[in-house]
């Protein structure tokens, strides 16, 4: 998706910000004239996406030559890789991890010689198992699988679960010289020193996981790295899940240009213990007949209606205190739920902690952290070896406020400076924080204004249960608009622009 903006208001707003940053002192009339002149010059250098001269101001109809150049180069690199058909190897008797036929098709395509492979699959369709088998097969061939992801947290999870090298896409391209300068220009430094861990060889596979969340600038840089090394590229993701924060549409472009033999779809859902919910999750994903999906969720007890927000918060606090994943739509709601869950745990003798306990610390946000709390780190810090969004259990608190944390496979010490600023309670999380997680049970409170992708991701985290908690007012609004339907409802057909 191209970066687009409306005619002049956003440009004028940015001009005002930049002028304020210069500490310019001028007469009001002269300052206004300067701002208008800069705005006009900037608008003149933009490219109009619509030919009509009377485009309403609220319609995003402008873009920049640089945006078009990036997208054009990205498409050209994808198209060059798509010229050759992809072969598929049969996997019978190869001693790999147990996989189903669709996973075997993925592995058989990834592990051969296709220069561009695209894999799209639903939540819980066994992508990790397929990648683990791919890693085993490539290793036998003497080739490397390097998995890059939009976040460091996802890269660490991918490395642990597949056995492949896992890196964040940002770190990968940074090692190869790409930087944002102070003026917001994205360019490559010719003198950058490349870390050995990021070096690829011909025949290696650079696999971009969660490719739908990656922006165009980073993807273009990754393709350039692979082109220079003679490495193969695979894009894995799902257009029905969370999109890129910046200019996205990468997976759409890849699917549009990839050779038909190089496109594989994972269609069998393995995550859920209830086959009925697995089938329903596929209906959530496509957005077809949202009213029927809404009714089906309600009938099976996956949509619970509370009289008010007070009752809903109490129910979510009880679920979170019991160890279930709680997902909310905003960071503000997450913070309030974390406080409620923390209070619930404090009231339970089995999990509570004395209010005057010495084994506690208070963060800059005012959250009190005690032994046994589930917390998240909120900032990537390569010097400390921690990523943004992983969750930990507090196992030690020093007198100065330093924390000892236990993660999936390691213990970690965080100094008080980091702990105070970048550690927070993590009994509840946002949809982005929950993305990539698989738990036993998940409880969701994202409201009736959530997008289709957010709703689908949130309601597919739990193996044995996924429950949307709504208030009565929210339920009435959903019912009035025909369920989670087009317009404001969550499970609506997504925009494929």
CA dist 279 and 217 (Å) reads 36
383, 434: one domain: yes
- What's the CA gap between 490 and 478, in Å, rounded? 9
Residue 195, pLDDT score: 78
Q: Is residue 134 part of a domain?
A: yes
Considering just the CA atoms, what is the radius of gyration of the chain in Å? Answer: 25
Query: Would strands 145-149 and 205-208 be described as parallel, antiparallel, or unpaired?
Result: parallel
d(CA 149, CA 213): 9
Q: Two tokens at 125?
A: 């369709």
Containing 234, the helix (H) or strand (E) segment is strand 232-237
pLDDT attached to residue 489: 45
In a domain, 470, yes or no: yes
Same domain assignment for residues 157 and 280: no
Whether residue 331 lies inside any domain: the answer is: yes
Cβ neighbours, 10 Å, residue 438? 17
Last residue of a domain, one of 230, 248, 266: 266
Instruction: Tell whether 107 and 23 lie within a shared domain.
Output: no
User: Is 53 in the same domain as 71?
Assistant: no
Q: Is 218 helix (H, G, I), strand (E, B) or coil?
A: helix
Task: Report d(CA 166, CA 157) in Å as an integer.
Answer: 8
Residues facing 391 on adjacent strands: 376
Residue ending a domain, choose from 214, 246, 266: 266
Residue 496, in any domain of the structure: no
pLDDT of residue 491: 44
| Rounded average pLDDT per 10-residue block, the chain, 497 residues | 60 90 90 93 88 77 89 96 88 70 92 94 94 93 95 92 94 91 79 82 96 95 96 96 91 96 94 96 89 90 92 96 94 94 85 63 91 92 88 93 88 94 96 93 85 92 95 64 44 39
Tell me what pLDDT residue 357 has.
57
DSSP assignment string, 364-415? TTS-EEETT-EEEE-S-BTTTTB-SS-EEEEEEE-TTS-EEEE-SS-EEEE-
If you write DSSP's letter for every residue of 459-470 in order, what string do you get? Answer: TTSEEEEEEEEE
Pairing mode, strands 232-237 and 116-121 = parallel
Q: Are residues 24 and 72 in the same domain?
A: no
**Are 165 and 122 members of one domain?**
yes
Asked whether the beta carbons of 138 and 144 are under 8 A apart, the reply is yes
List the Cα angle 58/63/69 in 5-degree steps.
160
Write out the H or E segment, with its range, that includes residue 117.
Answer: strand 116-121
Strand ranges for 11-72 from DSSP E: 47-48, 62-63
Helix (H) or strand (E) holding 449: none
DSSP secondary structure string, 251-292? HHHHHHHS-GGGEEEE----S-S-HHHHHHHHHHHHT-SHHH
Q: Is residue 487 part of a domain?
A: no
| Residue that is last in its domain, among 48, 63, 78 | 63
Burial class (CB in 10 A: 0-12, 13-18, 19+), 29: exposed
Are both 343 and 202 inside the same structural domain? no
Q: Tell me, yes or no, whether 240 and 322 share the same domain.
A: no
CA distances from 311 to 48, 315, 471, 472 (A): 51, 6, 8, 10
Note down the domain range covering 320: 275-481
Q: Answer whether residue 176 is part of any domain.
A: yes
Q: Tell me what pLDDT residue 287 has.
A: 84
Question: Is 153 found in the same domain as 41?
Answer: no
Specify the pLDDT at position 296.
93
Judgement on whether residues 257 and 306 belong to the same structural domain of the protein: no
In a domain, 491, yes or no: no
- For position 352, what pLDDT does the model report? 65
- Give the pair of three-digit tokens for residue 232: 């193969």
Q: Do 290 and 244 share a domain, yes or no? A: no
Is the domain of 72 the same as that of 215?
yes
Tell me, yes or no, whether 494 lies in a domain.
no
* Separation between Cα atoms, residue 184 and residue 189, nearest integer Å: 14
Three-state SS at 207: strand
Torsion angle in degrees (nearest 10) through CA of 19, 179, 244, 250: 120
- Residue 359 to residue 383: CA distance in whole angstroms: 26
Q: What is the pLDDT of residue 95?
A: 62
Q: What residue has token string 């800059």?
A: 364
Give the separation between CA 62 and CA 160, rounded to whole angstroms: 43
Domain with 357 in it: what CATH number? 3.40.50
| Dihedral sign of CA atoms 137, 138, 139, 140 in order | positive
Spatial contact of 63 and 49, defined as CB atoms under 8 Å apart: yes
Whole-number Å distance between alpha carbons of 23 and 25? 6
Bridge pairing between strands 145-149 and 165-168:
parallel
Instruction: Dig out the tokens for 335 from the structure.
Output: 């913070």
Contacts (Cβ under 8 Å, ≥6 apart) of 28: none
Count how many Cα atoms sit within 13 Å of the Cα of residue 159 in the half-sphere of its side chain: 15
Please give the pLDDT value at position 488.
37
Q: How many separate domains does the chain show? A: 3
**Which CATH number characterizes residue 230's domain?**
3.40.50.300
């Amino acid at each position: 998706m191209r970066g687009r903006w409306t005619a002049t208001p956003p440009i004028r707003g940015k001009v005002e910000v930049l002028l304020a940053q210069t500490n310019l002192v001028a007469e009001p009339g002269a300052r206004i004239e300067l701002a208008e002149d800069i705005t006009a010059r900037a608008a003149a250098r933009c490219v109009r996406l619509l030919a009509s001269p009377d485009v309403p101001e609220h319609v995003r109809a402008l873009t920049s030559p640089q945006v078009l150049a990036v997208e054009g180069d990205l498409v050209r690199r994808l198209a060059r890789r798509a010229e050759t058909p992809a072969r598929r190897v049969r996997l019978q008797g190869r001693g790999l991890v147990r996989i189903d036929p669709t996973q075997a098709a993925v592995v058989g395509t990834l592990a051969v010689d296709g220069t561009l492979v695209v894999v799209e699959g639903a939540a819980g369709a066994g992508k990790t198992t397929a990648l683990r088998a791919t890693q085993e097969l490539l290793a036998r061939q003497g080739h490397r699988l390097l998995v890059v992801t939009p976040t460091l947290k996802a890269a660490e999870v991918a490395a642990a679960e597949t056995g492949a090298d896992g890196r964040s896409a940002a770190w990968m391209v940074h090692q190869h010289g790409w930087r944002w300068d102070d003026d917001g220009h994205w360019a490559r430094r010719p003198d950058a020193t490349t870390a050995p861990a990021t070096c690829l060889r011909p025949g290696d596979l650079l696999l971009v996981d969660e490719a739908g969340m990656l922006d165009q600038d980073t993807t273009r840089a990754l393709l350039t790295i692979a082109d220079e090394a003679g490495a193969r590229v695979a894009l894995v993701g799902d257009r029905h899940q969370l999109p890129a924060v910046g200019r996205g549409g990468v997976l759409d472009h890849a699917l549009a240009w990839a050779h038909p033999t190089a496109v594989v779809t994972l269609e069998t859902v393995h995550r859920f213990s209830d086959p009925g919910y697995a089938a329903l999750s596929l209906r959530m994903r496509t957005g077809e007949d949202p009213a029927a999906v809404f009714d089906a969720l309600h009938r099976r007890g996956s949509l619970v209606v509370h009289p008010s927000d007070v009752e809903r918060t109490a129910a979510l606090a009880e679920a979170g205190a019991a160890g279930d994943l709680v997902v909310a739509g905003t960071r503000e709601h997450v913070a309030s739920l974390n406080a409620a869950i923390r209070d619930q745990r404090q009231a339970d003798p089995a999990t509570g902690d004395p209010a005057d306990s010495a084994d506690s610390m208070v963060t800059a946000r005012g959250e009190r952290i005690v032994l046994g709390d589930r917390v998240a780190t909120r900032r990537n810090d390569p010097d400390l070896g921690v990523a943004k969004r992983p969750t930990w259990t507090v196992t030690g608190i020093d007198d100065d406020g330093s924390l000892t944390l236990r993660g999936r496979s390691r213990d970690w010490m965080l100094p008080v400076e980091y702990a105070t600023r970048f550690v927070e309670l993590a009994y509840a999380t946002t949809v982005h924080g929950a993305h990539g997680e698989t738990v036993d049970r998940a409880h969701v409170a994202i409201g009736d204004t959530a997008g289709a992708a957010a709703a689908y991701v949130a309601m597919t985290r739990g193996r044995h249960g996924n429950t949307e908690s709504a208030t009565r007012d929210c339920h009435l609004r959903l019912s009035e608009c025909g369920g989670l339907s087009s317009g404001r409802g969550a499970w609506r057909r997504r925009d494929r622009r």
